[in-house]
Structure 1
Amino acid sequence: MTRVTAQDVAKEAGVSLATVDRVLNKRKGVREATIQRVVDAMDRLNFVRDQTAANLARGRSYTFTFIVSAGETAFFNDVRAEIETAKHQASKERIRINSIAIPPLDPRAIVDAIDDMGEEIGDGVAIVAVESQIVRDAIAALRKRGVHVISFISDIPNSERERFVGIDNVAAGRVAASLLKRFVSPRSGDVAVVAGSGTLRDHVERRMGFEQVMRAECPELNVLPWIEGEELAGLVEEKLSNLLSENPNVVGIYSLGGGTRGVIDAIETAKQDMCVVTTELSEHTRAALINGTVDAVLVQDPSHEVRSAIRVLKHLTDGTPVNEKQERIRIEIFVRDNLH
């Protein structure tokens, strides 16, 4: 089927192509009656505007900025690598990508990065958010300047951010609990939970989903207070090793984010019979899956997340609708048998 063009709309509405262009771009100087004739013609012809082509024709360009965590986690190493990879493809669509790596779990670093960029921050920002009033204030200030803001991987919903790009973290926690109860059954005992920080919404939500299932379906399992390892493998290993040495009743571990290498090292040192579900498919977790130290790994695709964030920021800038199905980030489950 031949694509309907703006010229077809002009002919159908009985107006000039320049008038159609003014209506499409919401420029002044067109009478309301004429605008309605053009809109009616577009409806009759099922006209869908090619926004990319229109932007290229006008020389429209974009600048988007990612503010993401630095640190030692394999996942954020992958995220930063995917942003670098995306820069080349985005440049073909006149999109320039800035990437700023900041210390993890540091709200002041987020605010400072925004301030340091000034106007260079561009049309839109994707932020790995930390729960903090100063971050909410910084987001509100960006929106007031007309900069579009999305939270990325870790959400901050009680802010003026426009969308969240990432997995359903409550669902991720529920999936982890469902897997662990199957691995542990029919034993009873304690379950340890290892997190990065309670200031990260994604970690809080995973814990919430995990406990929902555990409390409703696993009365024989007692979920211990979580260990906060600040996404540092050494600190995670120290805290988890101390817990395991003091509590031989631990039968399961859910590592919900950050410091996974420390979790693996602590388990291998303890030599207790435990079932383990973790996140972050890295060199260490692959080896741990293969040798049986870890039973399952829940994974989110950083490539999809980065590409989705760019598309969403572009839609927000253009004022065009988001394809919700395309931007849904799925949770993948890896066990030893489906590693690739």
Structure 2
Amino acid sequence: MRPTVHDIAEKAGVSLATVDRVLNGRPNVRGVTRARVEAAIADLGYVRDVAAANLAKGRVYSFTFILPAGDNPFMRSLEAEVRGLARQAAVDRVRVGVVVVPPFDAEGLAGAIDAAIADGVSGIAAVAVEDAAVVAAIDRAKAAGIAFVTLVSDVAQSARDHFAGVDNVAAGRTAGSLMARFVAARPGPVAVLAGSMRLRDHRERLEGFQARLGADRLLEPVLEGQDEPQTVQRLVGDLLARTPDLAGLYSLGAGNAGLVRALSDAGGAGPVVIAHELTPETRSGLSSGLIAAVLNQDAGHEVRSAVRVLKARADGLAVHAAQERIRIDIFVNDNLPPEAGQSGADVSSVPQ
């Protein structure tokens, strides 16, 4: 039979109330008594049934996801996954809310984090902007005992518990390896289009890309389209007009509807293009031959991973690293999944 709290109390020579205080980390237990209870727990091999304990207490987890607003298709798919999970999670006593803030707005993100802290949530997951104000807000959340997960783009110098996203340096290296193969016989330069170099994931992708392709082939400076399709269309159109020998273009951010329009308007063979995230726009680019390859991360996996980690941290439990590793999927025109299954099934993948 599995040991119970009654067995712990008997072995340690204490009351059930004292055992409960030790198990829940509450104060008003003398050090020597706490040590005796913990020794009894270890000797008996007691493993706490956290789910049963939470059910008995009527505990409800309250998680807030903070996402950037705008028409970034990947972020909207991430939001759709969160809202879909919220409808299912209620059965498991999990309440999930969504807050949207302007993209790349560090102060707005920090304010949303502080608002979630004030609401007394159990955990926060956010697409992060690397900024001192955001780091300080994350650290305030942790100081308040709130679990914190960064999504898609990390803020590693903060006290956050976990990052739910791909290894972006590895993603950049993968893009660089593909680009090197695709443009091997083409002597022209390669350009890079980012959303904002304030985002850690964009900087890390560029770092990996440069390491594999070689900086001597890259055009500078990096174009920053702010993930806005109109801005991206203008920047890429100007780039193609002034660089007729452009061999390749790596789009490591969003705004790819504008990228596809600019490539289509230019006509001709055009550069080899590698982009991120399988969206309707990049799917269209792959199908038409305007885009050679797309690197994708599974939005659903990231959201489910974030919730698992937030629950584990709220309960003081360990996180299973292998389960939470987000893979990098590679799509070309030949292995596009059906439109209803854009979550990464039946694709080539590069393990992290």
TM over 0.5: yes
Moved more, 255-264 or 106-115: 106-115
Task: Using the TM superposition, name which of 132-141 and 50-59 deviates more.
Answer: 132-141
Matched, 1:277 2:274: yes
Aligned runs of 1:1-340 on 2, under 5 Å? 5-6=4-5, 20-28=19-27, 35-36=34-35, 38-117=37-116, 119-120=118-119, 122-215=121-214, 221-270=217-266, 271-340=268-337
- TM-superposition CA deviations, 1:189-233 (whole Å, max 9, x none): 2111111001111111111111111128xx6x3344211000001
Q: Supply the distance in 2 between the matched residues of 1:298 and 1:32 (Cα, whole angstroms).
A: 53
Change (3 A) 1:29 1:227: closer
**Structure-2 change in CA distance of 1:121 and 1:33 (3 Å):** closer
CA offset digits 1:65-114 (Å, max 9, x no partner): 11111111110010000110111232223221121011111112213323
> In angstroms, what is the RMSD of aligned CA positions?
2.4
Measure how far apart 1:138 and its partner are.
2.3
Give 3-state SS (helix, strand or coil) of 1:177's partner: helix
2:89 alignment partner AA: A
Give the percent of matched residue pairs that are identical in Structure 1 and Structure 2. 46
Greater CA deviation, 127-136 or 112-121?
112-121
Aligned partner letter, 2:104: L
What letter matches 2:242 in structure 1?
Answer: E
Separation in structure 1 between the aligned mates of residue 285 and residue 158 of structure 2, nearest angstrom? 39
The Cα of 1:172 is off from its aligned counterpart by 0.6
Note if contact 2:117-2:146 (Cα within 8 Å) is conserved in structure 1: no
* C-alpha spacing 1:31/1:159, structure 2 compared with 1 (3 Å): closer
> CA 1:4/1:272 → structure 2, altered by over 3 Å: closer, same or farther?
farther
Give the stretch that moved more between structures: 123-132 or 166-175.
Answer: 123-132
Aligned equivalents of 1:52 and 1:334: distance in 2? Answer: 39
Q: CA 1:121/1:290 → structure 2, altered by over 3 Å: closer, same or farther?
A: farther
Q: TM-score, normalised by structure 2?
A: 0.86
Letter matched to residue 250 of structure 2: Y
Residues 313-322 or 38-47, more deviating: 38-47
In 2, Cα distance between the equivalents of 1:32 and 1:156?
37
Q: Distance in 2 between matches of 1:256 and 1:240?
A: 13
Amino acid at match of 1:311: R
Q: CA deviation at 1:34?
A: 5.5
Structure 2: stretches of 5+ with no match in the other structure: 338-352
TM-score in terms of structure 1 length: 0.89
